[in-house]
């Protein structure tokens, strides 16, 4: 199972286009290379907070400990402190710099956002074996930072998209209706135009890109073509699309070869995916057995 890797690839590719001018997107969204953002300092091929916080959620899952708000918060701080990087919203970056551990994080956070932060890190939670468990655990992690109706629903939907394909709940054509039976929101109307900073926008755009394309390359290009908060759209979409048998896994080689490969880069992510594959198999067996 590849889950974190395509998420990181979508995030790193999309980072160059996040809120970039429309002409820049038209000129360079050609899937030939990682690009440099016209104004941001993120290096080519480097992932952002979408991936780092997804890694934190993955580590929580792999820890074997109860999936509490304290556990998630602890990993959010740990992952940031060991590998501080740009890409976070400015105020949240400053907040993470200023807290020492998960306890202080929970004491000081103001968890009232409806933006995309809880959704961008949620796809990995789709490996949990039942719909109810996905909803419950995703809600726990969402409430830490996004304790709003829209913030929680966006996160739950992002996790359930991955779960839907991973556990063979149906084909692409049935995804939106299935989601609407489990989480509040209009997940059926196709998205068009620029993606704003609200979580439901990124998730809805990701669903539309998955529904409209039969290849991973097509999904990724459409995610970026929307303009706006496209790294989050791409991260959510590719994590789920990688589990869909109707979508050809045809991402160009540079997305793997040129993805950052420091201590917590490509090889580390590939290893985490291997651990998540074993974890998911064990979780599935515990339900069916």
DSSP secondary structure string for all residues of 14-44: HHTTTT--HHHHHHH-SSSS----SS--PPT
What's the pLDDT at 288?
Answer: 75
pLDDT in tens, 26-47: 999 999 999 999 999 899 999 9
Average pLDDT over every residue of 161-179: 98
DSSP secondary structure string for all residues of 60-126: HHHT-S---HHHHHHHHHHHHHHS--S-S-HHHHHHHHH--SHHHHHHH---B--BSHHHHT-GGGG
Say yes or no to pLDDT of 289 above 90: no
Go through the domains of the chain in sequence order and give each one's CATH number: 4-288 (1.10.4080.10)
Say yes or no to pLDDT of 143 above 80: yes
What's the pLDDT at 92?
Answer: 96
For the chain, the average pLDDT equals 97
Sequence-distant (≥ 6) Cβ neighbours of residue 163 within 8 angstroms: 126, 127, 128, 131, 134, 169
Say yes or no to pLDDT of 209 above 90: yes
3 state SS of 198: strand
| Percentage of the chain exceeding pLDDT 70 | 100
Any idea which residue has 């990682």 for tokens?
Answer: 34
């Amino acid at each position: 199972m590849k889950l974190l890797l395509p998420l990181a690839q979508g995030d790193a590719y999309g980072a160059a286009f996040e809120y970039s001018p429309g002409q820049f997107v038209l000129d360079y969204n050609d899937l030939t290379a990682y690009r440099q953002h016209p104004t941001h300092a993120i290096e080519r091929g480097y992932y952002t907070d979408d991936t780092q916080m997804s890694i934190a959620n993955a580590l929580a899952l792999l820890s074997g400990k109860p999936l509490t708000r304290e556990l998630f918060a602890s990993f959010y701080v740990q992952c940031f402190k060991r590998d501080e990087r740009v890409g976070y919203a400015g105020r949240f970056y400053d907040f993470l710099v200023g807290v020492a551990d998960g306890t202080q994080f929970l004491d000081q956070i103001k968890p009232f956002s409806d933006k995309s932060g809880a959704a961008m890190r949620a796809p990995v939670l789709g490996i949990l074996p039942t719909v109810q468990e996905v909803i419950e655990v995703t809600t726990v992690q969402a409430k830490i930072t996004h304790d709003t109706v829209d913030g929680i629903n966006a996160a739950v939907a992002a996790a359930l998209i991955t779960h839907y394909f991973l556990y063979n709940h149906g084909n692409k054509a049935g995804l939106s209706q299935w989601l609407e039976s489990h989480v509040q929101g209009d997940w059926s109307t196709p998205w068009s135009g620029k993606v704003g900073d609200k979580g439901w926008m990124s998730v809805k755009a990701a669903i539309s890109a998955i529904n409209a394309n039969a290849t991973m390359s097509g999904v990724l290009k459409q995610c970026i073509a929307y303009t706006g908060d496209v790294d989050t759209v791409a991260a959510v979409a590719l994590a789920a699309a990688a589990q869909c048998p109707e979508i050809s896994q045809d991402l160009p080689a540079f997305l793997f070869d040129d993805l950052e490969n420091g201590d917590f880069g490509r090889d580390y992510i590939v290893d985490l995916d291997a651990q998540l594959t074993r974890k998911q198999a064990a979780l599935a067996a515990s339900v069916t057995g």
